Structure 1
Amino acid sequence: MFRSLVAGGPSTRPQIGEQLALSRPTMSASIGELERLGYVEKIGESQGSLGRKAALYRVGAGAGHVVAIDAGSTHVRLRVATLDHRLLHSRTYRLPTSHRLMNEEISRAVAEEFAAAATETEAGWGPLRAIGIALPSRVVGDGAERASTRQDELFTHFAPPAGPKLVLENNVNCAAVAENVYGVAQGRQDFAYIQIGLKLGMGLMLGGRLIRGRNGAAGEIGHLAYPFAPGHTPVAGEAETYLGTEALMQRVRDAWPEAPPPPPEDAGDLFARAEKDEVAAREQVERHAADIGALVASCVALVDPGLVVLGGGVGTSPLILPIVRKVANALSYAVSVETSSLGPDATVLGIEKLAVDRALDVVLAQPSP
């Protein structure tokens, strides 16, 4: 019953009873026990179809809350939420510089944002049950080789408090989770979320399961060797170097006409000018979209996900979607390509979902006082 309220939001006793096929006595006893623990609370009444009013319940303060943090390459996004995903507090911090790898600067920002959020804590939020942090790195469990993942760089400045469970996950995997729960891949058993921005990444869900791989490296498409061409030696990780925004902007500057206007300052400026049909900008964006389409085709050839969701600062641009669709379907098997409906919030919403899942295990494992 408690999981039903967490997943579905406020409900009446008849609604929960019908959904779970529970009798009225069982419903009454269960609601009473959950109310005693503070895990549910009555928030009003709902008018029934026969004119009767029914008490409306939601997850209570006693169930506690979670903190979700997207420790990104350009921003740190933080959400404090109840177990049924009601937002209690949020904050976003833009890093002074972009970082391709997990490092102590990101750790410092996480520590400062978490400390700032802690000062906003209210008694009505209940206990902190779990902290979820999405990292721009591979993530492996205890006992695995961790040095090369850089995941422990998180703890250079951030020291998690004792008590709440700590959940770590790769940021693109988190975005895939969010798309599956809330976004355009909702309910899909098989799909790939591909992030295109400063970095590349893929979160892969097959058979309803998030695929992580033995070394936490499943979906690390940025690590693909590139290029494959006569006279060239493939270099590990060169796919990300070539398709990332830093290399994109270098190509734009190198190819930009000498005549005014001057080249764009950054990727945001490039895409804004392309949207205004500035010829040189449009040509560069279309070429980059074709390159992304080729990358998507390679991913489709490997895992045949049926659906690819594009995310990230570049991936969510409406300018690239039709070209990526055309190129990907021309070069590989038939695939639907869509743009993320969650935008920059995908990762933090995904790690929040994983933190709530861990918090549920904690709450439901506690013995009744």
Structure 2
Amino acid sequence: MKARALSLASLATSALPASFTSSARAVFKRLLAVGQATRPQLCQDLGLSRPTLSAAMTELSRLDYVEVVGQAQGHTGRTASIYRIGKGAGHTIAIDAGSTVIRYRVAYLDGRVLLTGTYALSSGQRHMSAEISRKVDDAVAQSLASCVPDWGPLRAIGVAVPARVTGQSRMVAPGQETWMFGAFTPPSGVPLILENNVNCAAIAEHNYGAAAGRRDFSFIQVGLKIGMGTVLGGEVVRGQNGAAGELGHLPFPWSASDVPQPETLEDYIGADALMARVRADWPDHDPPRDSIDLFRRAGEGDPAALVHVKRHGQDVGRLIAACVAVIDPGFVVLGGGVGSLPVLLPYVREEVGRLSYATEIETSTLGADATLLGIGKLAAAHAQSALIDA
């Protein structure tokens, strides 16, 4: 299949002809936020009169954007209908194109999950590849094949990619103008949302996780790859070239006898390099199978495992201290396949405290779901804007 660059401009659909009053838009967005509510609750939450709310419901019901899902008993004995987003609002497909597994989720715009699935990769892959492209295509094909009328229209596809994404929503890799999905052709007329995977994890932590309610923080991913997503003033920082947070490009090593090369820091601090050092230095013939096994043993008090986990925690702490010196976010969420393991946290905190300014550091509360939740949030927000704000 001929490779081609992906951009929102080439896939955007025209705005829907429907236009809505401000009260109808407010009701729709409120139901997206809370999941379901009665008319009295919506009147109270939005400050709308009963006639105004009734008119808004009529507007939204005309396109099946809201639906009744039950009845609630009030204090006076009266019943009130419970509303939620209707099937006419449609659904989205969210895909986490990860380094070891492709995960996908189909959901209504309010987050109700319709379908989930995974595709394992043949090996850990630090960059966009033909195999990742094929598995993304498989995920979309499976989602489309499983679609039933009650899901409503497909409004957007979001893909979190292991690459930087420019303002034109194109994937870019070091030394190459544009990365392409060689084996992925999205459905015609469906908007495609691309975002860097670590930025997606930061978005999820900001909306649902450890950083909820904070306007300034950084999410640091440590696993097979390393990366950072930063939110300042409530907005994701992407940078002029989409390269904000590309920690693998910090100069490393940096000394009078060494010449830094691209991605050598990731070569040193990534999970593969960690385990290579562990195996080379392990005192007997039973080294840990992988990083999960290493950290499990450390949690059980194994002295050899603790030595390596402490050293890795110090390395991660030095990385975070470098980031704090530039951004000073005040709060850091540590995630990724290795970073999200609680055994690492005390050593990271100790090293950051030794080297840098006061910074709160917590482990991700979302774990492996963070990236998928983040790209799902972006896809739903795009769909909402097209449906209601056009």
TM over 0.5: yes
- Secondary structure at 1:315's aligned position in 2? coil
Q: Percent identity?
A: 52
Letter in 1 for 2:308: Q
Question: Does structure 2 retain, via aligned residues, the 8 Å contact 1:103–1:154?
Answer: no
Structure 1 residues 209 and 304, CA, compared in 2 at 3 Å: closer, same or farther? same
Offset of residue 146 of structure 1? 4.2
Question: Does structure 1 retain, via aligned residues, the 8 Å contact 2:93–2:156?
Answer: yes
Q: Identify the match of residue 285 of structure 1 among 288, 303, 309.
A: 309
Q: Identify the match of residue 290 of structure 2 among 258, 266, 277.
A: 266
CA distance in 1 between counterparts of 2:190 and 2:143 reads 15
After TM superposition, the structure 1 stretch with the greater mean CA deviation from structure 2, 275-284 or 46-55, is: 46-55
Structure 1 residues 25 and 195, CA, compared in 2 at 3 Å: closer, same or farther? same
Considering only aligned residues, what root-mean-square deviation do their CA atoms show, in Å?
1.7
Mind listing any 5+ residue stretches in structure 2 that lack a counterpart? 1-26
Q: Report the equivalent of 1:111.
A: 137
Aligned counterparts, 1:332-351, within 5 A: 332-351=356-375
Offset of residue 235 of structure 1? 2.4
CA distance in 2 between counterparts of 1:127 and 1:319 reads 45
CA distance in 2 between counterparts of 1:115 and 1:344 reads 23
Structure 1 residues 343 and 48, CA, compared in 2 at 3 Å: closer, same or farther? same
Q: Identify the match of residue 353 of structure 2 among 306, 317, 329.
A: 329
Offset of residue 355 of structure 1? 0.1
CA distance in 1 between counterparts of 2:159 and 2:322 reads 30
Are 1:302 and 2:326 an aligned pair? yes
CA distance in 1 between counterparts of 2:343 and 2:85 reads 42
Aligned counterparts, 1:22-33, within 5 A: 22-33=48-59
Letter in 1 for 2:36: P
Offset of residue 122 of structure 1? 1.1
After TM superposition, the structure 1 stretch with the greater mean CA deviation from structure 2, 109-118 or 226-235, is: 226-235
Q: Report the equivalent of 2:231.
A: 205
CA distance in 1 between counterparts of 2:150 and 2:262 reads 50
CA distance in 2 between counterparts of 1:163 and 1:145 reads 20
Aligned counterparts, 1:208-247, within 5 A: 208-247=234-273
Are 1:311 and 2:339 an aligned pair? no
Offset of residue 200 of structure 1? 0.4
Q: Identify the match of residue 71 of structure 2 among 45, 56, 65.
A: 45
CA distance in 2 between counterparts of 1:361 and 1:23 reads 25
Structure 1 residues 135 and 57, CA, compared in 2 at 3 Å: closer, same or farther? same
Question: Does structure 1 retain, via aligned residues, the 8 Å contact 2:225–2:266?
Answer: yes
Structure 1 residues 6 and 217, CA, compared in 2 at 3 Å: closer, same or farther? same
Question: Does structure 1 retain, via aligned residues, the 8 Å contact 2:204–2:377?
Answer: yes
Count of paired positions: 364
Offset of residue 329 of structure 1? 1.7
TM-score in terms of structure 1 length = 0.95
Offset of residue 152 of structure 1? 5.6
Q: Report the equivalent of 2:42.
A: 16
